[in-house]
């Protein structure tokens, strides 16, 4: 059985000029993580937030940060992001961006943060299987990274299941991209327990309610899955 469900709100779809208010609202709704999408215009065709945004967010909330680096040469920037964030926060890099993942993981951990590794929809699980004992989280992309509001790619579901079957019990498996109240149960049933949502939270007009509904659906999926296994 997977670790407990956590909802990670991606502020990519929040209103950037009302960010503080948006964050206060999701904090009150009991969101588990704030997911920050860092894009460099090289690894992905978009440019977003840098360390100074992380530093600013850190000043206004105690919710743990989930920093998703979609950048080339992650080893060059990990330290700066780690300093902007704080001990116990999490930094995830993409396996496609480095030949030395273990070194990047060490850099993150040496700075006192948790380390995650991510894979794109077309990248096979084999690329990260030897890292499952070393990282705190694996992030399975369910869209090609770059933008919020894309459609969920369901062919990644078997990858989640494979990783869950191989992973140590406590490993967090995160799914990111195109998550809705309709498909969240599928991702959870395959073994994801950290669920990222941007549009499904910030584009609904009621982010608190959206978080609560997503969490309820995810927890219900876990209970049903457990029930099915026990009765199998």
Annotation says 176 is catalytic: yes
The whole-angstrom separation of Cα 181 and Cα 81 is: 31
Closest CA to 165 of 187, 186, 143, 190: 190
Q: How far is 60 from 69, CA to CA, in rounded Å?
A: 21
Q: Give the distance, in angstroms, between the CA of residue 232 and the centroid of all CA atoms in the same chain.
A: 31
Binding mask 53-92 for Zn ion (x = CB under 5 A): ---------------x------------------------
Contact call for residue 199 and ligand DX5 (CB under 6 A): yes
- How many residues bind ligand DX5 (CB under 6 A)? The answer is 21
Asked if residue 36 binds ligand DX5 (CB under 6 A), the reply is no
Active-site entry in 40, 66, 136, 176: 176
Map residue 64 onto helix, strand or coil. coil
Of the candidate residues 117, 128, 196, 210, the single one contacting ligand DX5 (CB under 6 A): 196
Question: Known catalytic residue: 89?
Answer: no
Q: Using the rule CB under 6 A, is 218 a contact of ligand DX5?
A: no
Asked if 68 touches ligand DX5 (CB under 6 A), the answer is yes
Stretch that binds Zn ion, among 29-37, 52-60, 83-91, 187-195 (CB under 5 A): 29-37
Per the CB < 8 A criterion, the answer to whether 23 and 57 are in contact is yes
d(CA 34, CA 27): 9
- What is the rounded CA–CA span in Å between residue 225 and residue 188? 9
Q: CA–CA separation, 29 vs 180, rounded Å?
A: 17
The C-alpha atoms of residue 231 and residue 51 are separated, in whole angstroms, by 49
Q: How far is the CB of 14 from ligand DX5 (least distance, A)?
A: 10
Query: What residues from 146 to 165 belong to the interface with ligand DX5 (CB under 6 A)?
Result: 146, 148-150
Site pattern 174..203 for Zn ion (x: CB under 5 A): --x---------------------------
Distance CA 36, CA 81 (A): 11
Residues at the interface with ligand DX5 (CB under 6 A)? 10, 12-13, 35, 37, 68, 143, 145-146, 148-150, 176-179, 196-200
Catalytic residue numbers, as ranges: 37, 176
């Amino acid at each position: 059985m997977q670790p407990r469900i956590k909802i990670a709100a991606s502020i990519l779809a929040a209103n950037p000029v009302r960010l503080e208010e948006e964050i206060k609202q999701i904090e009150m709704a009991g969101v588990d993580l704030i997911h920050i999408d860092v894009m460099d215009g090289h690894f992905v065709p978009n440019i977003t937030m840098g360390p100074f945004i992380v530093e600013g967010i850190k000043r206004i909330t105690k919710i743990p940060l989930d920093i998703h680096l979609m950048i080339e040469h992650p080893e060059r920037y990990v330290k700066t992001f780690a300093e902007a964030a704080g001990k116990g926060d999490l930094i995830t890099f993409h396996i496609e961006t480095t030949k030395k993942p273990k070194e990047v993981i060490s850099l993150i951990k040496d700075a006192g943060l948790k380390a995650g590794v991510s894979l794109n929809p077309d990248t096979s699980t084999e690329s990260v299987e030897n890292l499952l004992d070393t990282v705190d989280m694996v992030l399975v992309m369910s869209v090609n990274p770059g933008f919020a509001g894309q459609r969920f790619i369901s062919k990644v579901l078997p990858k989640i299941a494979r990783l869950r079957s191989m992973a140590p019990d406590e490993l967090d498996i995160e799914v990111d991209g195109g998550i809705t109240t309709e498909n969240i149960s599928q991702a959870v049933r395959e073994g994801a327990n950290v669920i990222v949502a941007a549009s499904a939270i910030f584009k609904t007009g009621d982010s608190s309610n959206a978080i609560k509904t997503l969490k309820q659906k995810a927890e219900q999926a876990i209970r049903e899955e457990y029930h099915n296994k026990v009765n199998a």
